[in-house]
Structure 1
Amino acid sequence: MAMDGDTRPNDLSAFWMPFTSNRQFKKQPRMFVSADRMHYTTSDGRQVLDGTAGLWCCNAGHNRPKIVEAIQKQAAELDYAPAFQMGHPKAFELATKLVDMAPAPFEHAFFTNSGSESVETALKMALAYHRARGDSARTRLIGRERGYHGVNFGGISVGGIVNNRRMFGTLLTGVDHLPHTHLPEKNSFVKGQPEHGGYLADDLERIVTLHGAETIAAVIVEPMAGSTGVLLPPKGYLERLREICTKHGILLIFDEVITGFGRLGSSFAAEYYGVMPDLITCAKGLTNGVIPMGAVLATKQIHDAFMQGPEEAIELFHGYTYSGNPMAAAAGLATLDTYAEEGLFERAAGLAQYWEDALHSLKGLPHVIDIRGMGLIGAVELQSIPGAPTKRAFDAFLKCYEKGVLIRTTGDIIAMSPPLIIEKEHIDTLIGTLADVLKTLE
């Protein structure tokens, strides 16, 4: 064990890194030591263009003055306050500001610490909502193949990414899955929402027939699936899901941990697509990724179903030590102010066409079998190397990093989601560097 004052700065063994090939990384570490606006600085002094907004979260870029100042001030004013049976003003201010920017049906916010916790919270709210209304038979949850809803047990149960599930036993019972919406044989290189696949939402009727509508509590989907490789909703798909859920009294949950806060050029994808769920999960861009925080947005109908019985009774036996944490709330308030003052959502919408054209300029390069994108998010899918899935995309990730550009990979899909402050010249650099790298891949 290290003695006092001995921090062993070059010893990488203690930190078991998440979603990382630990052995490969620790042989050739890639370390960021600072960041400002669109760029990271590496431990060897190189500038790296952030093509992924951190992990889909730094929507306002890095080292933003208003956010930094808010955190510094809050640390000296009120570092922590208990969240159970006590409060502090900034949590209430943030909740009000958050619901004001959300689509009209959403009037209440429940704070969490991450997207994973937001999903767990929304699933529990859905189950408890039906029970509060005397409909306790509704316990079944419906997710979707290739869905990503965080990494807690509820999230991986309704999620549908195989490697996130296979090691962890039987998971939650009473869960079923809709088919994913990826139809490469019909929708490759499409611009905007795909024409084909809206009918896939009708599979929910099959599931309802199989299990009985009276047993189903909620359906949870990402309106646009991000972590699985940017799968866009086909035209009419979300509308049909909403229609079927309404018909059968099933709650519809949108997981907007990625699509929230301007990623598509609007506050939330629900607004962008014009389809309103009953609950929205969010995180990431809520605090610009600076301090962990998430939230569940609920309609008045959901919230008020719990506000029954004696006033002194706890209405929902759920919450976290850090729900509405003062530091996170301060960061959230400053982040939402930054979005509004700089018009970043509108800015993203204004750059969407330039971004789309740049993405599709990669068509025809070696190994590129599909390109998908919407708002300021995009994916380039590569042909897998037989017997070595993921290798080609990971090689592209490493080469882009060496050339000063950060991208992200999932399987053999390259995903990009830059900060909303990106300029056209940054887009040119990001896509141009990726093009150069693609030409070198085996």
Structure 2
Amino acid sequence: MTSPALWSAQAHMPSVIGRQINVVSAEGAYLTTDTGARLFDGTASLWYANIGHGREEMAQVAYEQMKTLEVYHVFGRYTNNRAIELAEKLVSIAPINDAKVILNSGGSDSIDAALKLARRYWNHVGRTSKKVIISREGSYHGLHAYGTSIAGLDFNREGYGTDSLVDGTERVGMHDAAAFAATIERLGAESIAAYIAEPILGTGGVHPPQDGYFEEIQRLCRENDILFIADEVITGFGRTGEMFASSRYKLQPDIIAFAKGVTSGYAALGGLLVAPRIWHPFFEQGADSPIYRHGTTYSGHPVTAALALKNLEILEREGLVARSSELEQVLARELKAIESHAFVAATRVGGFLGAIELSSDVSAEFVTDQVIEQGFITRPLRGNAVQISPPFITTDQEVRDLVGAVRAVLDAAQARTSKARATA
């Protein structure tokens, strides 16, 4: 078989060639492939298709903006109305008071920008030894150089010749505030620039925070003058039943990284919400203010910004953040019911995203492949877990049907295993 020209993301290419699922259209919560198969999007693509696919008004917004101003950069003195409008809107809903907004092209961009900003801030205020970035085991922060360096998933870090592509990174246990305290003691607070965490670990297996964890982390950050960065690339814009997980979990970050749900995937957009402590020296010191040398070619892209504004309008107009909260309860009930299955080790829910952690009797890769045959898309995650995070327009019945499809696959796998053991 001839190899395809496209080198797919995060793919073992010999394993996917000949098995690739070619999506040709989408509407609502469903995709259609080139074979005519209709598949329920149980992961909202990569966690982001929150308002659903194929909305005509989103296409119309892009068309109208392209007729007016299709693109221009926001470097230096230049800006555009849509980028300004989006920044003002984001500030109005941000869980950081008096925030400033940096726009870029996606989540990995946002992580690089956030961690560079943390080090740039400390360097400017004269505390040049504060360089180390601390992250959590099991975490995922994109695949740019900085995101790769702080990743808590070893398979995303390996093979580059060094333990960390960017020097000065440390990892601590997923729920272990004591390990964070011990790391501060070992390294010294004057060497640590920032601590970064996903409020809910996503790709690492959907792990919500344990009670008291972030309260202790934030106390340690305050007492040791360490910046706290919330990676809300997955959780931002309604996925946890509030606009930001920082609000739900009472976090007070210095920087929030966002992407995905800001446009529901209708365009590539990410960015940062930056607290006054961090932005003030770059705005308010006149000739002595430094320049933060950030920026991507499509920062503040007017079409992308227009789509984000319309997406946020739809979320509010249709009450989809509240609907996400309702769907969380449906998902929690369905996952609780499947916990009794012999092949299920545990289930987890945090907002309208969940995971079914499987026993060693069956692999998540096998289950997700089999569920596709029943018309549902799920995704294998770290820890032999199955991801569930559909769009916010999903019905209660579709949640039940999705979890039911997973149960059916597990039942069939259990029956085969029992039969094999009986005949052994």
On whether the aligned pair clears a TM of 0.5, the verdict is yes
Whether 1:101 aligns to 2:93 is yes
Whether 1:230 aligns to 2:206 is yes
Number of residues of Structure 1 aligned to a counterpart in Structure 2: 410
Counterpart position of 1:34: 25
SS of residue matched to 1:204: helix
Code of the residue aligned with 1:178 in structure 2: it is: V
Code of the residue aligned with 1:401 in structure 2: it is: I
CA contact (8 A) 1:138 1:216 kept: yes
SS of residue matched to 2:354: strand
User: What is the CA–CA distance in structure 2 between the aligned matches of 1:366 and 1:406, rounded to whole Å?
Assistant: 23
Counterpart position of 1:394: 365
How far is 1:106 from its partner?
Answer: 5.1
Code of the residue aligned with 1:161 in structure 2: it is: L
User: What is the CA–CA distance in structure 1 between the aligned matches of 2:371 and 2:60, rounded to whole Å?
Assistant: 33
Code of the residue aligned with 1:43 in structure 2: it is: D
Code of the residue aligned with 2:188 in structure 1: it is: G
SS of residue matched to 2:281: helix
Counterpart position of 1:410: 381
User: What is the CA–CA distance in structure 1 between the aligned matches of 2:35 and 2:292, rounded to whole Å?
Assistant: 50
How far is 1:11 from its partner?
Answer: 7.0
2:126 to 134, 143, 148: 134
2:173 to 175, 179, 184: 179
Deviates more, 1:252-261 or 1:103-112: 103-112
User: What is the CA–CA distance in structure 2 between the aligned matches of 1:308 and 1:167, rounded to whole Å?
Assistant: 44
SS of residue matched to 1:439: helix
SS of residue matched to 1:33: strand
Cα distance 1:285–1:11, how it changes in 2: closer, same or farther (>3 A)?
Answer: farther
Deviates more, 1:61-70 or 1:119-128: 61-70
SS of residue matched to 1:210: helix
Code of the residue aligned with 1:80 in structure 2: it is: V
CA contact (8 A) 1:31 1:43 kept: yes
User: What is the CA–CA distance in structure 2 between the aligned matches of 1:104 and 1:146, rounded to whole Å?
Assistant: 26
SS of residue matched to 2:230: strand
Q: What's the CA shift string for 1:61-108, capped at 9, x where partnerless? A: 111233221112122221110221211100010011112111142521
Deviates more, 1:119-128 or 1:16-25: 16-25
1:7-406 counterparts in 2 under 5 A? 13-85=4-76, 86-105=78-97, 107-170=99-162, 171-181=165-175, 200-310=176-286, 315-384=291-360, 392-406=363-377
Cα distance 1:81–1:11, how it changes in 2: closer, same or farther (>3 A)?
Answer: farther
User: What is the CA–CA distance in structure 1 between the aligned matches of 2:170 and 2:143, rounded to whole Å?
Assistant: 17
User: What is the CA–CA distance in structure 2 between the aligned matches of 1:369 and 1:430, rounded to whole Å?
Assistant: 18
How far is 1:12 from its partner?
Answer: 5.8
SS of residue matched to 1:306: helix
User: What is the CA–CA distance in structure 1 between the aligned matches of 2:69 and 2:386, rounded to whole Å?
Assistant: 42
User: What is the CA–CA distance in structure 1 between the aligned matches of 2:122 and 2:43, rounded to whole Å?
Assistant: 38
SS of residue matched to 1:361: helix
Code of the residue aligned with 2:377 in structure 1: it is: L
How far is 1:25 from its partner?
Answer: 2.1
Cα distance 1:325–1:336, how it changes in 2: closer, same or farther (>3 A)?
Answer: same
User: What is the CA–CA distance in structure 2 between the aligned matches of 1:374 and 1:274, rounded to whole Å?
Assistant: 15
How far is 1:311 from its partner?
Answer: 5.3
CA contact (8 A) 1:230 1:372 kept: yes
Cα distance 1:262–1:12, how it changes in 2: closer, same or farther (>3 A)?
Answer: farther
Q: What's the CA shift string for 1:186-221, capped at 9, x where partnerless? A: xxxxxxxxxxxxxx2122221111111111100001
Cα distance 1:312–1:335, how it changes in 2: closer, same or farther (>3 A)?
Answer: farther
How far is 1:312 from its partner?
Answer: 10
CA-atom RMSD in angstroms: 1.7
Q: Which runs of 4+ in 1 moved over 6 A?
A: none
Whether 1:437 aligns to 2:413 is no
User: What is the CA–CA distance in structure 1 between the aligned matches of 2:290 and 2:24, rounded to whole Å?
Assistant: 45
Counterpart position of 1:197: none
SS of residue matched to 2:412: coil
Code of the residue aligned with 1:83 in structure 2: it is: V
SS of residue matched to 1:331: helix
Structure 2 length-normalised TM: 0.93
How far is 1:243 from its partner?
Answer: 0.7
Counterpart position of 1:195: none
- Give unmatched runs, 5+ long, in structure 1: 1-9, 182-199, 386-390
User: What is the CA–CA distance in structure 2 between the aligned matches of 1:267 and 1:260, rounded to whole Å?
Assistant: 6
How far is 1:440 from its partner?
Answer: 1.8
CA contact (8 A) 1:112 1:322 kept: yes
SS of residue matched to 1:440: helix
CA contact (8 A) 2:96 2:253 kept: no
CA contact (8 A) 1:366 1:439 kept: no
**Percent of aligned positions with the same letter in both sequences?**
34
CA contact (8 A) 2:281 2:290 kept: no
CA contact (8 A) 2:133 2:193 kept: yes
CA contact (8 A) 1:257 1:282 kept: yes
User: What is the CA–CA distance in structure 1 between the aligned matches of 2:89 and 2:192, rounded to whole Å?
Assistant: 33
SS of residue matched to 2:39: strand
SS of residue matched to 2:228: strand
User: What is the CA–CA distance in structure 2 between the aligned matches of 1:106 and 1:41, rounded to whole Å?
Assistant: 43
How far is 1:238 from its partner?
Answer: 0.7
- Give unmatched runs, 5+ long, in structure 2: 418-424
How far is 1:128 from its partner?
Answer: 0.9
Deviates more, 1:306-315 or 1:93-102: 306-315
User: What is the CA–CA distance in structure 1 between the aligned matches of 2:291 and 2:266, rounded to whole Å?
Assistant: 31
Code of the residue aligned with 1:300 in structure 2: it is: P
